[in-house]
């Protein structure tokens, strides 16, 4: 009988998850493991155990597909995190149930593909004696222990495409077009997408903004002959004298959303400019992964299986200096990787006349 590996996808989905699952299934066959894909995140570990076999056949053709073929959830019995820095303890009886199911099905190691919250849960399972390997995933690109996560590039591509489309209609109507994008506490998606899509103002959580400065930037464009503008607003951005805009908290997670409309309203009220707001929302999380995310996802999946073979339990796959390596899961949780306000990316943006409203 082949030794068995369990795998699950947890938290918000993102393009590239299926590339990871395919990488895991194929590498596992080469290294002589059998793979059980637990369904709907950690919930699949609850009795009686809900899983499907992942092999060459069941993962064939899934690389270009968005989402995850084994399902996911960012709530439920194992939700491991509330906001940045807060650790939620998973109930001991829930962990004991999961352990029993893994034992019953002879699963020797569990690969957990998830973000910050899922890694916090992974750490608790590891501490309870379950052999865990982490694979980092988030479109927000905000995990401290890895320079890049798959899903981010696809999200940025969606932002760039949206800005290209908004650009043409903005010029026709001479309007200010606001685009609200995801990212939670981090401005990476807004910053990268904004630069690639030729935005004129980018508002990110790491740089509190002033409305007067935004208006100043729009007026400056006018004096240079440009009477339309593109403004990218990260969902977590907030004015220097105000607060982030949250939607009603559902379950355990804080949910951002709505700042784009507030910024649009303020610009309209303070200028004569016609202003419109688009909230890109989950379009950033859906659809086919980019080439880069397919490759990164495949590399992460293969690395995770190798880590199981080498018994590097309690570790998470990490991308550093163009190499796929691993780090302790403990190093990956409780600290978000935010945009350095004085870093090279922000400076580059400023040098191509992008205002941060500061
Ligand atoms: O963390 C990924 C993310 O897409 C964030 O950018 C966003 O704030 C959040 O998830 C949305 O979560 P949900 O899918 O639960 O609405």
What would the pLDDT profile of 217-250 be if each residue is shown by its tens digit? 999 999 999 999 999 999 999 999 998 999 866 5
Instruction: Give tens-digit pLDDT for 4-53.
Output: 999 999 999 999 999 999 999 999 999 999 999 999 999 999 999 999 99
- 140 as an active site residue: the answer is yes
Task: Please state which of the ranges 72-86, 241-255, 303-317, 327-341 shows the lowest mean pLDDT.
Answer: 72-86
- Regarding the beta carbon of 259 and ligand 1, being less than 6 Å apart is answered no
Give the β-pairing of 86-87 and 81-82: antiparallel
pLDDT for 74 equals 84
161: pLDDT confidence band, cut at 50, 70 and 90? Answer: very high
Distance CA 178, CA 181 (A): 10
Under a CB-based contact definition with an 8 Å cutoff, are residues 41 and 73 in contact?
yes
Q: Say if residues 260 and 272 touch (Cβ distance below 8 Å).
A: no
Residue nearest to atom 10 of ligand 1 (CA): 12
Region label for 253, one of left (φ > 0), alpha (ψ between -120 and 50) or beta (otherwise): beta
pLDDT at position 88: 72
pLDDT at 332 (0 to 100) = 85
Ligand 1, atom 16, lies closest to the CA of 255
Q: Could you report the per-residue pLDDT of 39-64, keeping only the tens digit for each?
A: 999 999 999 999 999 999 999 999 99
Element counts in the chain: helices (H) and strands (E)? 10, 15
Give the Å distance between the CA of 108 and the centre of ligand 1.
Answer: 31
Tokens of 145: 């222990």
Residue 81 is predicted with a pLDDT of 53
339 lines ligand 1 (CB under 6 A): no
Higher pLDDT, residue 74 or 304? 304
pLDDT of 334 higher than 90: no
Ligand 1 centroid distance, CA of 347 (Å): 27
Percent of the chain clearing pLDDT 90 (strictly above): 89
Give the active site residue among 13, 40, 116, 140.
Answer: 140
Ligand 1 binding pocket includes 285 (Cβ within 6 Å): yes
Looking at residues 170-175, what average pLDDT do you find? 97
CA angle 57, 60, 63 (to 5 degrees): 155
Q: How far is the CA of 137 from the centre of ligand 1 (A)?
A: 12
Indicate the DSSP class of residue 207: S
Give the pLDDT confidence of 77-106 residue by residue, as tens digits. Answer: 887 554 455 567 899 999 999 999 999 999
pLDDT (tens digit per residue) in 256-302? 999 999 999 999 999 999 999 999 999 999 999 999 999 999 999 99
Quote the ligand 1 centre to 273 CA distance (angstroms). 31
324 band by pLDDT with thresholds 50, 70 and 90: very high
User: How many whole angstroms from 2 Cα to the centroid of ligand 1?
Assistant: 37
Q: What percent of the chain has pLDDT over 70?
A: 96
Whole-angstrom distance, CA of residue 91 vs CA of residue 128: 11
Ligand 1, atom nearest to 250 Cα: 15
Residue nearest to atom 15 of ligand 1 (CA): 12
In this predicted structure, what is the pLDDT of residue 144? Answer: 87
Q: What is the pLDDT of residue 255?
A: 87
Q: State the alpha helices, DSSP H only, in the chain.
A: 17-30, 92-104, 116-127, 152-173, 188-196, 211-223, 259-270, 291-309, 329-332, 344-351
Cα–Cα distance, 94 to 10 (Å, whole number): 16
- The mean of the pLDDT values for the chain is 94
Ligand 1 atom closest to Cα of residue 115 = 1
Instruction: Note the pTM of the prediction, 2 decimals.
Output: 0.95
Residue 109 has pLDDT above 90, yes or no: yes
Asked if pLDDT for residue 166 goes beyond 70, the answer is yes
Atom of ligand 1 nearest to the CA of 253: 15
Residue 87: what pLDDT?
62
Quick one: pLDDT at residue 191? 98
Task: Report residue 253's pLDDT band, with 50, 70 and 90 as the boundaries.
Answer: low
What's the pLDDT at 62? Answer: 98
């Amino acid at each position: 009988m082949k030794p068995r590996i369990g795998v699950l996808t947890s938290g918000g989905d993102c393009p590239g998850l299926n590339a990871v699952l395919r990488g895991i299934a194929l590498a596992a066959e080469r290294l002589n493991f059998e793979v059980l894909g637990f369904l709907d995140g950690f919930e699949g570990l609850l009795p009686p155990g809900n899983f499907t076999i992942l092999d060459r056949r069941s993962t064939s053709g899934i690389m270009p597909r968005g989402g995850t073929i084994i399902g996911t959830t960012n709530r439920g019995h194992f939700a491991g995190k509330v906001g940045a820095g807060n650790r939620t303890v998973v109930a001991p009886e829930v962990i004991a149930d999961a352990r029993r199911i893994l034992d019953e099905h002879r699963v020797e190691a569990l690969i957990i593909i998830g973000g910050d919250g899922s890694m916090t849960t992974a750490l608790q399972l590891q501490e309870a004696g379950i052999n865990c390997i982490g694979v980092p995933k988030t479109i927000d690109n905000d995990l401290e222990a890895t320079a890049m996560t798959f899903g981010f590039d696809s999200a940025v591509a969606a932002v760039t495409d949206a800005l290209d489309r908004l650009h043409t209609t903005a010029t026709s109507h001479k309007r200010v077009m606001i685009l609200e994008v995801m990212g939670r506490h981090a401005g990476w998606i807004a910053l990268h997408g904004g630069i690639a899509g030729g935005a004129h103002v980018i508002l990110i959580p790491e740089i509190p903004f002033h409305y007067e400065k935004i208006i100043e930037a729009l007026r400056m464009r006018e004096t240079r002959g440009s009477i339309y503008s593109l403004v990218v607003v990260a969902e977590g951005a907030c004015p220097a004298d105000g607060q982030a805009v949250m939607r009603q908290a559902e379950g355990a997670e804080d949910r951002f959303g709505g700042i784009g409309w507030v910024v649009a309203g303020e610009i309209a009220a303070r200028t004569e400019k016609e202003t419109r707001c688009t909230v890109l929302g989950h379009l950033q999380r859906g659809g086919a992964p980019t080439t880069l995310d397919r490759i990164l996802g495949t590399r992460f999946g293969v690395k995770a299986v190798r880590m199981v073979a080498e018994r590097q339990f309690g570790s998470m796959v990490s991308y550093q200096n163009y190499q796929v390596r691993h780090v302790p899961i403990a190093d990956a949780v409780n600290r978000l990787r935010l945009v350095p306000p004085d870093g090279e990316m922000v400076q580059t943006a400023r040098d191509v006349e992008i205002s941060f409203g500061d």
